[in-house]
Amino acid sequence: MNTRLFCIAVVLTVAMSAFACAPDRWRVFTHDEDRYPEKETYRPADIPETVQPEFTEPPSFEIPSGKGPMDLSIEQAAMLALSRNRDLQVQKLNPLISGAFEEIDRGNFDPEVFAEYQYLDEQSTETSRATGEQFPVEGNNSEFVSGIRQALPTGTTLEASVSQQRDTSNRTPEEQNARVGLSITQSLLRGFGPSVNLASVRQSELETTASLYELRGFVEALLAETEIAYWNFVLAGKEIAIFKHSLAIAGQQLDEVEQQISVGLLPEVEAAAARAEVARREQALIEARSMLEERRMKLLRMINPLPEDGFDLCINSVSEPAIELAPITDLADRLELAVRSRPDLNEARLRLRQNSLETIVTRNGLLPRLELFADLGQTGYADNFSGSFRELNNDTHDFAVGFRFSHYLSNRSAKATDLAAHASRRQAAEAVENLAQIVRLDVRLAVNEVERARQQIAASRATRILQEKTLEAEKERFKVGSSTSLLIAQAQRDLLAAGITEVISIVNYRIALVRLYLAEGTMLERRGVKLDGGQMP
């Protein structure tokens, strides 16, 4: 019987080894979602309120259910972007994932319940020492162990266990014993103290906070991008209005030229310039309409007002780009605010603190492993199960205490890890200083752009007024025969360019302010958006 079992075990072992040694025969696992749809269960991830950006005073308006048109203000566009933008819905899950890893690291210090059961059946032959006679021995052994163990941040491991063992044999009477034990192991060098053992937990906490700063930076960038898309859409609409007006003026001028040609006041060649100007205006209007459509779709992508077919929604912008102009005189305060508020800079500071914690771990890893252990137990012996536990109150006990020591010769792996951690920490520190300089530069460049756009508004307005007067003067000269339709067309083109430049300068001022707020890291506060979390611990 034993030989048969042994042969079967050998055959199974060889077969399994041959099967395992042929990985190329394994098929790639593919999940067939259509085969067992009823067995699929998904656990939805609840996004916490702390990562939900919202307005302190949210505007209220209804989104049309059809294709519109929808009257849209800049405030409404921002609110829609915060509540419906698809990219933001993806980014909101990052802090949730980081918080899950924080719980994973904390779970290393959760109590662990364990249990083990084993059964041994033995058949053998022994030789009597007295007579030299061989005799068969049959017996079996069963053992059950259960308990609880706990790892502490101090580097201490506690374990309490209860075990029960039963031995039967054809040569000896049945024996059962029970044991209650307590084991304590304390790290004395490597792995000693909360600063080392809680480093991963602290790093996970910093990672969660860093993910909140990352989310804050994304929300600020989203708001800025939405406002810029809105003002570009407004600009495209203004340009179309200017092109339509200039086309009407060019058509009116062509009619006047053709009338004067018909009565013989002008030669036929004068009509060519007027017709070319009308064609040029039509061409510009086609380009402007295409640009408006492109910017409409980009804005819809940002605000995502409808769950399906949202790109067919028509939009009417109701916010005007005109704004009160004010020079910037508080550059120093803005620089200080940016260094304190920029999400990417605060995130970099947290990465530096994470690297500092890593050096604590790697420095501790250079030490040898030295542990103090103590094991205390109380044992009861009897010939039955219940009796073994009743005998636990006797004087049968065991106690062991000692030390364990181990250390790698030369310890190159730990030294290299420690070197890499210190180099990463220095790199992170340099990155923080570098990013702080970039932040200051971003603010200075943004302020410079705001000032340029502000001054361009007045200059472009003056240019447009002068071009209007120039066109009127050319028209008067044309009436008395001292000018040509070509000169009038040139004056009209100059006026058209001046009008568009004025509108562009106003929109550019709005966009420059948005980019300044983004460079300062104050976009959310200036727009009345509340986003909890992301505070430096």
Provide the greatest CA pair distance for the chain: 151
**Of 261-265, 278-282, 438-442, 500-504, which range is least confident?**
261-265
Could you report the per-residue pLDDT of 107-146, keeping only the tens digit for each? 889 999 999 999 988 887 777 777 777 777 788 888 999 9
166: helix, coil or strand? strand
Query: How many percent of the chain have pLDDT more than 90?
Result: 34
Pull the structure tokens for residue 367: 């030490």
Residues in the chain: 537
pLDDT at 534 over 60: no
Interval 496-519: pLDDT, tens? 778 888 888 999 999 999 999 999
pLDDT, residue 39, reads 46
φ/ψ of 272, rounded to 5, equals: -60, -45
Instruction: Report the alpha-carbon distance of residue 85 to residue 451 in Å, rounded.
Output: 32
Give tens-digit pLDDT for 188-230.
999 999 999 999 999 988 888 888 899 999 999 999 999 999 9
Contacts 24+ apart (CB under 8 A), 387-390: 387/176, 388/164, 388/176, 388/177, 388/178, 389/164, 389/178
d(CA 315, CA 71): 6
Provide the CATH topology of domain 56-99+201-355+419-530: Outer membrane efflux proteins (OEP) (1.20.1600)
Per-residue confidence (pLDDT) for residue 224, from 0 to 100? 93
Q: Which residues pair with 397 in a beta bridge?
A: 378
- Cβ atoms within 10 Å of 172's Cβ, excluding its own: 10
How big is the CA angle at 106 (ends 100 and 112), to the nearest 5 degrees?
115
Give Cα separations from 209 to 51, 94, 131, 223, 338 (angstroms). 11, 11, 79, 21, 19
Query: What contacts 350, CB < 8 A, 6 or more positions away?
Result: 206, 207, 209, 210, 213, 536
pTM listed for this prediction: 0.79
List pLDDT tens digits, range 296-345.
999 988 888 876 767 888 888 888 888 888 888 899 999 999 999 999 99
* Average predicted confidence (pLDDT) for the chain: 83
Q: Which residues contact 374 (CB under 8 A, 6 or more apart)?
A: 183, 184, 399, 400, 401
Q: What is the mean pLDDT of residues 262-288?
A: 80
Domain spans in the chain, listed from the N-terminal domain onward: 56-99+201-355+419-530, 112-151+156-190+369-406
Q: At 43, is the pLDDT very low, low, confident or very high (cuts 50, 70, 90)?
A: low
Provide the token pair at 412: 């190159």
